[in-house]
Chains A and B, each alone.
Chain A
Amino acid sequence: MSKKIVQIDYVNEGDSIAMKPSGELVMTNADNYDLKQMPITKDTKSITLDMENVERYDTFMLAFIYRVETMCKEKEIKFEMIGVNTDMQSYLDLLMPKDEAEPEKEEKGSKFVLKVENLGNKIKTNLTDIHGFVEYFGILTTKMLKLFVKPLSMRWEDFPSQMFRSGVMALPITILIVFLIGLITGYQGATQLKRFGADMFIADLIGISITRELSPLMVAILVAGRSGSAFAAEIGSMKVTDEINAMTSMGYDKYEFLVLPRVLAVVLSMPFIVMICNVVGLFGGLIAAISTLDVTVISYINRLEMSLTYGDIASGLIKSLFFGFVIAAIGCYKGLKVEGGADSVGRMTTSSVVASVFMIILSDAIFTFIFQAIGI
Chain B
Amino acid sequence: MEDDFIIEAQNITVRYGELTVLEDVNFKIRRGEIFVIVGGSGCGKSTLLRQLIGLEVPTEGQILIEGENLSEASQDDSSSIMKKFGILFQSNGLFASMTIGENVKLALDSNTSLDEETADRIIDIKLNSVGLINYKNFYPSEISGGMQKRAALARAMALDPDILFFDEPSSGLDPLTASALDKLIIELNAGLNTTMVIITHDLASILTISHRVLMLDKSVKGVITEGKPEELLNMKENELVYNFFNRIPMEG
The docked-state distance in angstroms from the alpha carbon of A96 to that of B108 is 18
Interfacial chain B residues near A59, Cβ < 8 Å? 122, 125-126, 160
Please give the distance in Å from A40's CB to the nearest CB on chain B. 17
Q: Which of A335-349 contact B (CB under 8 A)?
A: 339-344
B contact residues around A255 at 8 Å (CB): none
A101 neighbours in B (Cβ, 8 Å): 133-134
B140 touches A341 (CB 8 A): yes
Of residues 112 to 167 in B, which have CB atoms within 8 Å of A's CB atoms?
A: 112-115, 117-119, 121-122, 124-126, 128-129, 133-141, 159-160
CB distance from B10 to the nearest CB of A (A): 23
Determine which of A28, A64, A90 lies in contact with B112 in the assembled complex, contact meaning CB atoms within 8 Å. Answer: A28
CB within 8 Å for A67 and B117 given contacts A28-B112, A94-B129, A343-B96: yes
Cα–Cα distance between A344 and B187 once the two chains are bound (Å): 36
Task: Determine whether the beta carbon of B128 is less than 8 Å from that of A64.
Answer: no
Pick the residue among B118, B126, B140, B191 that contacts A30 (CB under 8 A).
B118
Interface size class of B (residues with CB under 8 A): 20 to 34
Q: With an 8 A cutoff between CB atoms, is A133 at the interface?
A: no
> CB within 8 A of B159: which of A27, A31, A96, A97?
A27
Q: Identify whether the interface residues of A are mostly helix, strand, loop, or mixed.
A: helix
The complex places the Cα of A102 from the Cα of B134 at a distance, in Å, of 7
Task: Considering the complex, give the chain A residue whose CB is closest to the CB of B127.
Answer: A97
Q: Are B160 and A30 in contact (CB under 8 A)?
A: no
Per-residue CB contact flags for chain B residues 191-207 toward chain A (1 = under 8 Å, else 0) read: 11000000000000000
Question: Closest approach, in angstroms, between the C-beta of B142 and any C-beta of chain A?
Answer: 9
A91 to B117: give the CA distance in the assembly, Å. 21
Determine if A30 and B117 form an interchain contact, defined as CB atoms under 8 angstroms apart.
no
Between-chain CB contacts (< 8 Å), 12 pairs = A27-B114, A27-B122, A27-B159, A59-B122, A59-B160, A67-B117, A94-B192, A95-B191, A97-B128, A97-B133, A103-B134, A104-B134
Given contacts A27-B159, A58-B160, A94-B191, list 12 more A-B pairs with CB under 8 A: A27-B112, A27-B114, A27-B122, A28-B111, A59-B122, A59-B160, A60-B114, A91-B191, A96-B125, A97-B125, A101-B134, A103-B136
